[in-house]
Chain A
Amino acid sequence: MTTSSVSATSPEASAGSEAFLEVRHLVKEFPVTAGAVMQRRIGSVKAVSDVSFSVAKGETFGLVGESGCGKTTIGRLIVGLEKPTSGEIWFEGRAISQLKGSAYRRQRRDLQLMFQDPYASLDPRMRVGTIIREPLTVQKIGTREEQGARVRQLLREVGLSPKSVDLYPHEFSGGQRQRIGLARALTLNPKLIVADEPVSALDVSIRSQILNLMNGLQESHGLTYVVISHDLSVVKYLSDRIGVMYLGKLVELAPSAEIYARPAHPYTMGLINAIPEPDPKRERAKNLAPVVGELPSALNPPSGCRFRTRCPRVQDICATEEPPLRSFGPEHLAACHFPLQAPLATG
């Protein structure tokens, strides 16, 4: 796990990795085209812009940020649904981001994705049993009987009746569908699950069921989670450590309690302030310093610090120099020229 100050620009030798999961200087660009008949490339969006972090075995790492910050893209990069434009992903000491063919397919078993929208991510024409069995079929694991037994076991583990195998997704509520999605993510006995907005589409009182379930399964299965959400309350609840992202960059990285108690980056503070808490006294006593303005264009992000156009602490240097990640305590990094607290002295 990286604890030293990591400059966004200093390259590291690709000499292996000791972390369970490590992403190093990850960049993902998507081309943007225009034109009705002839599609010409007018630019690219750097959805992920030089992001590095690592995750320890058995922990829950949270990625939080708003639209366009790149967190979903990172999730997809980790499980192999996208290939990075540059940078590396290391898993259990092996470089996995450039794998192809059967090696890629084998690797896919260990890192699974729990999708965001329980209404869209289950094929409405497939029975639940088939949906959960599908990864086994694709990976050619087990006989039909063995697969069937595994599916029933998974359903029980997520708190659904084994009789669900014959039903279709539309016969289930949102919370139940999310359980099906979780069961499917567990089918191949993965070591790490990326949960993308695991509860956002669910009613408040159902969310706690899924959150409790995720925590419970983590213990029983020895799982490692990467939880991605725009909802800091959910991320903080589940995670041991949190990375805060803004417009493709990692702006702060810290243990959960630390992020809330002593945020260093103004954007993190803005996020915390913006979350309405179910406590009237605290809400009305909030000293806001709100994040003003709108998200800048991802095609043409601001120079220097990307957050500067909305930052209450902005100064001239923020436009000319991109702030490096500096250390603010054990495992606490933030990238800001004028952070909310003093960084640890280096050296």
Chain B
Amino acid sequence: MAPLLEVTNLKTYIRQRKSEVRAVDGVTFYIEAGETLGLVGESGCGKTMTGMSLMGLLPTGGYIAGGSVRLGERELVGLSEKEMRRVRGNDVAMIFQDPMTSLNPTMQIGVQIAESVRIHRHASKAEGLKRAEEVLGLVGMPRPKERLKDYPHQLSGGLRQRVMIAMALSCDPKLLIADEPTTALDVTIQLQILELLYELKQRLGMAVLLITHDMGVIAGRADRVNVMYAGKIVEAAPTADLFESMRHPYTEALLASIPRLDQDSRAVLYSIPGLPPDLSNPPTWCRFQPRCRYATARCREEEPELSGETVEHTYACFNPVGKTGAHRVAVAG
């Protein structure tokens, strides 16, 4: 069976006054129905822009410069705004990082959720509010009927995020894009929200694209992971494989730089030197090369393509890390 979502060589560029930023520069991945794909990377790697591209929510100056996004039977690239509006909510929905800035502070939450239903399903106001109450219950909001009249500022961060999830679910999407859904929340609330997303996913059979910088969140919640760097996917693998036998030096470096609870305090952490490349003028060779411990001459001349020993675990590197995950060089920086 064909995957629910197939993204092929997606390129999203952002035109600025004097330059053009190649935020997403040839990205290919897929998501099966009901699975959770993690998209992990640091700021500027293009993960948020990838999510936005799938929704057709590009910033000023942003445009899809190439590639294809196939959701079910339908090609999304090239759709008009009117056609995209039918896709949004019904087929794919998105939740964002900071619910305070994503929710309209001047509207009651019931009305905001209902708005989604009314726009994407041409429902009446009453039907919208009824559905709003229903989904608020679904996301574990206590006393949903009473909360319909609340304003966002009256709710805590965790409850606001539940409202946003309710809004996203109100039209039964097949794919939920969650962009850093828990980053702005307290850690105990983070866990609640991640558990909620997991339950909902199981119950509703939704696929989830989980976009985050947090490798821990990925470890616990994603079935497969794509690691992004400088606008490209550098490694793709089932989650357990990624952590146990990572191949790309950036993945290795990222994991080595995170302080872990079970680690001795003060052990020197690995530090990736340098900064990511300028995406308005990216190199034509490996983008991680200047910061890579294992770089060779070839890395400065050619750009590696995603490939691997198996089709499930691919990576873009000429000098990948050893097979068993044993680091090739002692990590102590």
Contact = CB atoms under 8 A, between A and B. Distances in A.
- Chain A: interface residue count, which band? 35 or more
Contacts of B213: 203-204
A138 B119 CA distance: 58
A236 interface: yes
Residue from A215, A230, A233, A239 whose CB has the most chain B CB atoms within 10 Å:
A233
A283 to B, nearest CB: 3
Interface in A197-228: 203-205, 207-209, 211-212, 215
B254 A275 contact: no
Contact of A274 (B190, B214, B240): B190
A173 interface: yes
Residue from B159, B192, B239 whose CB has the most chain A CB atoms within 10 Å:
B192
B265 A236 contact: yes
A273 interface: yes
Interface stretch (A113-121, A124-132, A290-298, A322-330): A290-298
B262 A280 contact: no
Contact of B271 (A205, A233, A234): A205
A212 B261 contact: no
A83 B159 CA distance: 34
B42 A204 contact: yes
Given A212-B333, A288-B191, A294-B156, A277 B261 contact: yes
B243 A280 contact: yes
A203 B43 contact: yes
Residue from A234, A237, A288 whose CB has the most chain B CB atoms within 10 Å:
A237
A271 B268 contact: no
B259 A237 contact: yes
A289 to B, nearest CB: 11
Residue from B194, B240, B258 whose CB has the most chain A CB atoms within 10 Å:
B258
A274 B191 contact: yes
A106 B220 CA distance: 50
A343 B230 CA distance: 52
A67 B185 CA distance: 9
B156 A276 contact: no
Contacts of B265: 236-240, 256-257
Contact of B240 (A276, A277, A280, A294): A280
Nearest to B214: A276
Contacts of A209: 271
B257 A205 contact: yes
Contact of A208 (B43, B217, B270): B270
B186 interface: yes
B260 interface: yes
A240 B157 CA distance: 31
Interface in A127-168: none
B261 A272 contact: yes
A207 B266 contact: no
Given A212-B333, A237-B263, A277-B216, A294 B158 contact: yes
A275 B271 contact: no
Contacts of B214: 204, 276
Contacts of B159: 294
Given A278-B219, A283-B219, A284-B220, A271 B187 contact: yes
B126 interface: no
Nearest to B212: A276
Nearest to A69: B186
Contacts of A291: 188, 191-192
B243 A208 contact: no
A231 B185 CA distance: 11
Residue from B221, B263, B269, B272 whose CB has the most chain A CB atoms within 10 Å:
B269
B42 A205 contact: yes
A233 B258 contact: yes
A123 B259 CA distance: 31
Contacts of A277: 216, 219-220, 260-262
B329 interface: no
A270 to B, nearest CB: 6
A204 B213 CA distance: 7
Nearest to A234: B259
Interface in A257-277: 257, 260, 270-277
A233 B191 contact: no
A66 B52 CA distance: 30
A274 B262 CA distance: 14
A278 B243 contact: yes
Nearest to A207: B257
B261 A205 contact: no
A275 B187 contact: yes
Contacts of A278: 215-216, 218-219, 243, 255, 258, 260
B253 interface: yes
A236 B243 contact: no
B275 interface: yes
Contacts of B257: 204-205, 207-208
A281 interface: yes
Contacts of A284: 220
30 contacts: A67-B186, A173-B275, A204-B213, A204-B214, A204-B215, A205-B257, A207-B257, A212-B269, A230-B187, A232-B187, A233-B259, A233-B261, A237-B266, A260-B262, A270-B188, A275-B216, A275-B261, A276-B214, A276-B216, A276-B220, A277-B261, A278-B255, A278-B260, A279-B219, A280-B219, A281-B240, A283-B220, A288-B191, A290-B192, A291-B192
Given A275-B261, A279-B243, A283-B216, 19 more contacts: A203-B213, A205-B272, A207-B258, A208-B333, A211-B269, A212-B271, A233-B259, A233-B260, A236-B261, A237-B263, A237-B269, A256-B265, A275-B187, A277-B216, A278-B243, A280-B220, A290-B195, A291-B192, A294-B158
Interface of A: 66-67, 173, 203-205, 207-209, 211-212, 215, 230-234, 236-240, 256-257, 260, 270-284, 286, 288, 290-292, 294-295, 310
Interface of B: 42-43, 156-159, 186-192, 194-195, 213-221, 239-240, 243, 253-255, 257-263, 265-266, 268-272, 275, 333
